[in-house]
Amino acid sequence: MPTYALMYHGFGQEHPIPRLNVDPAVFKEQLQTLRKESFTSADPEQLSPPAPKDQRVLVTIDDGLAGSYEASLSALQQGFQPLIFLIGDKVNLPGFLTEEQISALATEGVSFGSHTNNLHDYQTSACKRLTEEVIAADLEQSITQIEQLTGKQPRIFAYPFGQVYSTLKKQVRQKFEYAFGTKPFQKASLAQVIFQPQGILTPSVEAAEDRFELPRIYLRRETTTDELVRSLQIPGYATYLKVRTIIGDQLWG
């Protein structure tokens, strides 16, 4: 059975992009519902194939905003081990996790991955022009920081804004074991869609052909608990939600 990665950002009203905020009560409800539907937690430190009858989800939280602290504790209470992707130079800033909170969460069993040190400060077009040396130095700084705060070297990376470009991916391959994007689907042939629809059209980690571009299901303010469950159980539903969101963003901003 597959493993699905869920992607959250802000909780409450903390994220500057309102649609990326999820109400903490809804977050709790979503995880409780997944538990009732027999989903278990994937271990971020061991992204190995699950047992045949297991349905697993990996709760990922991008950016390391302050609300990630209580959200992670809530996830642990529901039996899910979250993975927080930190932006290194945001740590200790107002509205973001502090070093003390990160160390405390790591002690409780929360895992941490890199979301770069400060590449979020660049537009994607500018990032693509950065040299490999600059990118490597940024990633090394992020890795060192996380290891110092948690006692563990991060094994997993998340691309800034989900943008994968060659110079960054080359360095990510050298420094990490896995990397996540933000897309809930993968490229597939017609034959794959016909004969392997569950693995192709529902964004499982195992179905991905490239472990440095793993898929995730994007959770936003408007995503209902029912839609989340459908995304995990109905082939193609997560892709439908993604397309609907893109169209909605274009029409309503």
pLDDT tens track for 150-192? 999 999 999 998 888 899 999 999 999 999 988 765 444 444 4
Whether 248 has a pLDDT exceeding 70, the answer reads: no
Q: Quick one: pLDDT at residue 205?
A: 83
Q: Long-range CB contacts (< 8 A, 24+ apart) of 28-37?
A: 28/74, 28/78, 29/225, 30/219, 30/225, 30/228, 31/59, 31/74, 31/75, 31/78, 31/80, 32/78, 33/225, 33/228, 33/229, 34/80, 34/228, 34/229, 34/232, 35/78, 35/79, 37/229, 37/232, 37/233
What integer is the mean pLDDT of 32-57?
84
* Whole-number pLDDT of residue 184: 60
- pLDDT tens track for 84-94: 999 999 999 99
Q: How confident is the model at residue 200 (pLDDT cuts 50, 70, 90)?
A: very low
% residues pLDDT > 90 (the chain): 58
Average of per-residue pLDDT across 25-48: 92
Average pLDDT of the segment spanning 117-132: 80
Q: How many residues does the chain have?
A: 253
Residue 195 has pLDDT above 50, yes or no: no
Domain, as residue range, for 122:
3-252
Query: pLDDT digit string (tens) for 66-85?
Result: 999 999 999 999 999 999 99
pLDDT, tens only, 213-227: 998 888 989 899 988
User: The CATH number of the domain where 178 resides is what?
Assistant: 3.20.20.370
| pLDDT exceeds 50 at position 130 | yes
What domain count does the chain have? Answer: 1
Residue 51 confidence (pLDDT): 59
Q: What are the tens digits of pLDDT across the range 97-106?
A: 999 999 999 9
